[in-house]
Amino acid sequence: MRPDPRFRVAIGGVLVALLAIGCNREPESVSSKARVVAKSGAVWGRDLANGLGLQEWELCAELGGYDCIGEAHLVALGGVEPAVLGIDEPLPNATVSAPIAVDRVASSACAERWDRDQAGPAVIFGAVLEKDSAANREAVASRLVERLLARTATRDELRALTDLHDAVAPVSSSPARDWGVGACVVVATSTEALFY
Amino acid sequence: MSRSPPPLTPRPHRSLLGFVGAGGVASLLLLVARPGVAQPPGPATFCEAYPDAPACAAGEVSCTTCHVSAPSLNPYGTDLQAALLPGAARPLAEADFTAALPDALAAVEELDSDGDGVDNLTEILAGSSPSDGGSVPAPPDCTDEDEDGWELCGYDLDYAYKKVMLDFCGRSPVFAEREAFQAAKDREALLHETLDQCLDSEFWRGMYGRVWNLANSKIGPLQAVKSGKDVGPIPLADYDDDYAYFVWTQTEDRDVRLVLTGDTFVSASHVDGVTVYEEWNRTPNQDYELRGYDRYQAVQRSRRAGLLTHRWFLMVNTMFTAIPRTTAAQAYRAFLGLEISKLEGLYPVEGEPVDYDSRGVQTDACAQCHSTLDPLAYPFSRYEGIGGGNGESYSYNSRRLDSFTDTDGAFVAETPEAGVLFGQPVADLIEWAEVAANSDAFLRATVSDYWEMLLGEPPRATEQAEFAELVDRLGGEHAYRVEPMLHDLIDTEAYGAP
């Protein structure tokens, strides 16, 4: 399965910013349409839930009770609220809080998946939970891309995701968990996951 | 203020040309902005000069060709105006404008009005905007330098499949589904099977689903005055009836014109997690008995015109007004895609506006729009709004305006029920709705709704031909059914090229 060429450097790009590491960029192609639209929060959340093996309502709740996508961050994530707020259509531009909302949903959902995998049976992080090794991290990275982006990861993407461990390990008391959740958030909030 | 009997004589052939004599900038605007049935010379002349321009594929150019927003001219419009009989006294006579426009167009071809380094003629022929510095012709050759299997320079079935899943089913295909699609022998057939399945999804057709939300700006819901489910503090009408009816007209094999011409109602309910739409046809009395005072639909069947005569539409738009211009303008905007406040869809009627309700609409600044809007609104004037004139709220009442003479003057009672739409006389709202539903504007507005929903923007200049074909086929072989049109839409390069 091929990565969408319009988002080719998406994961790499995120990690470059995150880790100040580079990746080998392939020759640039130029789309004739270059038409990219954002997934609504509901659609992105459904993809996230499907990818992580969670129910949509399990992804994230603010203050323990307000569904992040359907309530708390509904408008920020591209939803509408015509009857009370008069927002008939998604806002034409992302709000300042939109990236924060995306991060909060992804962080919550990925942490929830880690905790459930730890309790078993594991859906995504099983290999690293069994043994935190480079090979197992690559297996988890591959699984994240396959489940969240519905395609096979490229070598560059796998390297970028596994290299994240080098940055996390020195500053984390739980490097396996922090790497796993962090890698999950990177994939879940990549351009390819948020847009189509 | 002059008073005259209602002539209601449309002047479709003069129409916007009448404004040529009213002022230079306004005349250029109107000549270029005019959409619809008649053939004003501005757009026609432009497209006669540039028949191969992508913007002319649909047979007309938009107001933004020359304007930022009416009446302000954009850089191209400014150059064009300057080249139009320079030195001649303004306003220009109609014949002078028509005769001079081709030369003026030619005179500005070599200019670069927007300063983007590309001359106007090149931009017009390439489909980019001669007035937008950020719009330049696309590279002649799409660049697809790697062999990754994606068809970047044309329709890509894998991309279209993922997009159909996201747009219509509300989720991405999972890994196994994408593999199965790529391995399918007939991927085109599978793509359309997928669309059929997704058109039945709750995400698409369900309560609060995508089609439901397409009606938001048409219905304008306001929970504070909602009756029925989720009742508000001042229950006046239930817009759930409107949403349900709208979705019903857009789905399955139904004729989308029913949104304006239907004489029944539709309810929506959840049964085992699936939204069920049920058509019903109770009399006002029967509905009153069943659903009560704050919900019943009060218009008798013979006077119904789809959503235009739903209780909510009359309540929220007509409210307390004698001549419901707001209601007519909303109908024009929501279902025909024409925004009168932007000078779109103007078809001035001789002798209008008469100003039956003493609103001062005969002043020059007002008459420009009200000569179209007022005769557009007369057919709505027999339908009661909030409180009713001298009849039941939200019902049809042929003598409704008699009760407004105290507030609007005695002349208001002489307001005709007959009106004019697109230059065509109509006897009442039933005829208004028929003319509207069978218009090119309705087809274009319907396709535009879905195009913009799925592609996030209006058709680009280079996509006008695909858009025009969708419009033609919706009103032709698809017999006004939306779902076959959507099958066409996903086959366009605009939709399927990554």
* Mean pLDDT of chain A, nearest integer: 90
- Which DSSP letter does residue A38 get? B
User: d(Cα B254, Cα B250) in Å, to the nearest integer?
Assistant: 7
The mean pLDDT of B315-331, rounded to a whole number, is: 97
pLDDT at B77 over 60: yes
Cα maximum dimension of chain B: 77
B403 & B262 share domain: yes
The shortest CB-CB distance from B498 to any of A6, A80, A89 is to: A6
Q: Who wins on pLDDT, B485 or A1?
A: B485
State which residues form the domain around B168.
157-199
B272 & B355 share domain: yes
Residue B72, both tokens: 């302000």
ipTM above 0.90, yes or no: no
- State residue B2's pLDDT score: 42
Radius of gyration, alpha carbons of chain B: 25
Residues of B in contact with A6 (CB under 8 A): 498
| Residue A144: burial class (beta carbons within 10 Å; 0-12, 13-18, 19+) | buried
Report how far Cα B33 is from the mean position of its chain's Cα atoms.
14
**Min Cα–Cα distance to chain A from B159, Å:** 8
- State residue B32's pLDDT score: 37
| Tens-place pLDDT, residues B325-382 | 999 999 999 999 999 988 889 999 999 999 999 999 999 889 989 999 999 999 999 9
A29 and B146 within 8 Å at the Cβ level: the answer is yes
User: d(Cα B134, Cα B415) in Å, to the nearest integer?
Assistant: 49
Residues of A in contact with B226 (CB under 8 A): 83
- State residue B8's pLDDT score: 59
Residue of A nearest to B161 (CA): A196
B144 touches chain A (CB under 8 A): yes
Closest by Cα among B424, B468, B339 to B63: B339
State which residues form the domain around A121.
5-23+37-57+98-194
B163 touches chain A (CB under 8 A): yes
Residues of A in contact with B221 (CB under 8 A): 82-83
CB pairs under 8 A between A and B: 102
Three-state SS at A30: strand
Domain membership of residue A131 (yes or no) is: yes
B457 and A35 within 8 Å at the Cβ level: the answer is yes
B235 & B95 share domain: no
B42 & B73 share domain: yes
Alpha helix ranges (H) inside B70-113: 75-83, 94-107
A31 and B172 within 8 Å at the Cβ level: the answer is no
- Which DSSP letter does residue B383 get? B
- State residue B41's pLDDT score: 66
B187 & B132 share domain: no
Domain membership of residue B473 (yes or no) is: no
pLDDT at B16 over 80: no
The shortest CB-CB distance from A29 to any of B152, B221, B226 is to: B152
pLDDT band at B266, cuts 50/70/90? very high
pLDDT at A185 over 60: yes
Domain membership of residue B471 (yes or no) is: no
pLDDT band at A7, cuts 50/70/90? low
The β-bridge partners of B237 are B226
Q: Which amino acid is at B267?
A: S
Closest by Cα among B230, B362, B417 to A83: B230
Q: Are B328 and B382 in contact (CB under 8 A)?
A: no
Helix (H) or strand (E) holding B488, with range, is helix B482-489
| Tens-place pLDDT, residues B430-463 | 999 999 999 999 999 999 999 999 999 999 878 8
The mean pLDDT of B107-133, rounded to a whole number, is: 92
Residues of B in contact with A37 (CB under 8 A): 455-456
Cβ within 8 Å of residue B374, ≥6 positions away: B323, B325, B352, B353, B354, B355, B361
Residue of B nearest to A51 (CA): B174
pLDDT at A61 over 70: yes
- State residue B202's pLDDT score: 98
Q: Nearest 10 degrees: CA dihedral of A169, A173, A176, A179?
A: -60
Q: Determine which of B51-55, B137-141, B207-211 has the lowest per-residue pLDDT on average.
A: B137-141
B213 and A82 within 8 Å at the Cβ level: the answer is yes
**Min Cα–Cα distance to chain B from A168, Å:** 29
pLDDT band at B46, cuts 50/70/90? confident
Q: Which amino acid is at B233?
A: P
User: d(Cα B117, Cα B53) in Å, to the nearest integer?
Assistant: 19
B148 and A2 within 8 Å at the Cβ level: the answer is yes
Number of Cβ within a 10 Å radius of residue B57: 21
Residues of A in contact with B145 (CB under 8 A): 27-29
B227 & B347 share domain: yes
Q: Which of residues 423-462 of B touch A (CB under 8 A)?
A: 455-457
Helix (H) or strand (E) holding B325, with range, is helix B325-336
Q: Which amino acid is at B450?
A: Y
B193 & B258 share domain: no
B15 & B135 share domain: yes
Residues of B in contact with A47 (CB under 8 A): 171-172
Domain membership of residue B465 (yes or no) is: no
pLDDT at A43 over 60: yes
pLDDT at B264 over 70: yes
B333 touches chain A (CB under 8 A): no
B127 & B49 share domain: yes
User: d(Cα B302, Cα B294) in Å, to the nearest integer?
Assistant: 22
pLDDT band at A41, cuts 50/70/90? very high
Chosen for mutation from B136, B147, B148, B208 (greatest number of chain A CBs closer than 10 Å) is: B148
Strands B265-271 and B274-280: antiparallel
Show the CA angle centred on residue A20, arms to residues A16 and A25, nearest 5°: 40
Residues of B in contact with A32 (CB under 8 A): 138, 142, 152-154, 497
pLDDT band at A5, cuts 50/70/90? low
B221 & B337 share domain: yes
* Mean pLDDT of chain B, nearest integer: 88
How large a percentage of chain B has pLDDT more than 70?
87
User: d(Cα A54, Cα A46) in Å, to the nearest integer?
Assistant: 9
Q: Are B291 and B471 in contact (CB under 8 A)?
A: no
- State residue A145's pLDDT score: 98
pLDDT at B38 over 50: no
Domain membership of residue A48 (yes or no) is: yes
**Count of the separate structural domains present in chain A:** 1
Residue B222, both tokens: 């306001």
pLDDT band at B15, cuts 50/70/90? very low
- Which DSSP letter does residue B481 get? B
Domain membership of residue A83 (yes or no) is: no
Distances (CA, A) of B464 to B61, B116, B356: 10, 23, 42
Q: Which of residues 80-99 of A touch B (CB under 8 A)?
A: 80, 82-84, 86, 88-89
A28 touches chain B (CB under 8 A): yes
Residues of B in contact with A29 (CB under 8 A): 143-146, 150, 152
User: d(Cα A184, Cα A52) in Å, to the nearest integer?
Assistant: 9
Q: Are B360 and B366 in contact (CB under 8 A)?
A: yes
B145 and A147 within 8 Å at the Cβ level: the answer is no
| Residue B353: burial class (beta carbons within 10 Å; 0-12, 13-18, 19+) | buried
- State residue B127's pLDDT score: 82
pLDDT at B91 over 80: no
* Cis preceding linkage at B221, omega within 30: no
- State residue A4's pLDDT score: 72
Residues of B in contact with A84 (CB under 8 A): 223
**Count of the separate structural domains present in chain B:** 3
User: d(Cα B422, Cα B119) in Å, to the nearest integer?
Assistant: 36
Q: Are A47 and A193 in contact (CB under 8 A)?
A: yes
B379 & B274 share domain: yes
Q: Are B314 and B307 in contact (CB under 8 A)?
A: no
B142 touches chain A (CB under 8 A): yes
How large a percentage of chain A has pLDDT more than 90?
80
B497 touches chain A (CB under 8 A): yes
User: d(Cα B113, Cα B133) in Å, to the nearest integer?
Assistant: 9
- State residue B139's pLDDT score: 65
Q: Who wins on pLDDT, B67 or B116?
A: B116
Residues of B in contact with A86 (CB under 8 A): 222
Q: Are B276 and B252 in contact (CB under 8 A)?
A: no
Residues of A in contact with B316 (CB under 8 A): none
User: d(Cα B73, Cα A12) in Å, to the nearest integer?
Assistant: 45
A31 and B177 within 8 Å at the Cβ level: the answer is no
User: d(Cα B282, Cα B297) in Å, to the nearest integer?
Assistant: 9
User: d(Cα B320, Cα B357) in Å, to the nearest integer?
Assistant: 13
Domain boundary among B437, B465, B491: B437
Cβ within 8 Å of residue B230, ≥6 positions away: A83, B223
Helix (H) or strand (E) holding B454, with range, is helix B440-455
Residues of B in contact with A26 (CB under 8 A): 146
Domain membership of residue A184 (yes or no) is: yes
Domain membership of residue B461 (yes or no) is: no
| Tens-place pLDDT, residues B386-433 | 987 677 899 999 999 999 999 999 999 999 999 999 999 999 999 999
Alpha helix ranges (H) inside B378-424: 405-408
Report how far Cα A165 is from the mean position of its chain's Cα atoms.
17
Residue B154, both tokens: 């044309």
Q: Are B11 and B2 in contact (CB under 8 A)?
A: no
The mean pLDDT of A35-54, rounded to a whole number, is: 96
- Which DSSP letter does residue B487 get? H
Q: Are A69 and A45 in contact (CB under 8 A)?
A: yes
Q: Is the dihedral of CA A56, A58, A60, A62 positive or negative?
A: positive
pLDDT band at B58, cuts 50/70/90? low
Domain membership of residue B219 (yes or no) is: yes
A147 touches chain B (CB under 8 A): yes
pLDDT at B18 over 90: no
- Which DSSP letter does residue B153 get? T
B17 & B117 share domain: yes
pLDDT at B24 over 90: no
B217 and A5 within 8 Å at the Cβ level: the answer is no
B434 phi and psi angles, rounded to 5 deg: -65, -45
**Would you give the end-to-end CA distance of chain B in angstroms?**
60
Chosen for mutation from B153, B204, B216, B453 (greatest number of chain A CBs closer than 10 Å) is: B216
Residues of A in contact with B214 (CB under 8 A): none
The mean pLDDT of B260-284, rounded to a whole number, is: 97
Domain membership of residue A90 (yes or no) is: no
A5 and B150 within 8 Å at the Cβ level: the answer is yes
pLDDT at B34 over 50: no
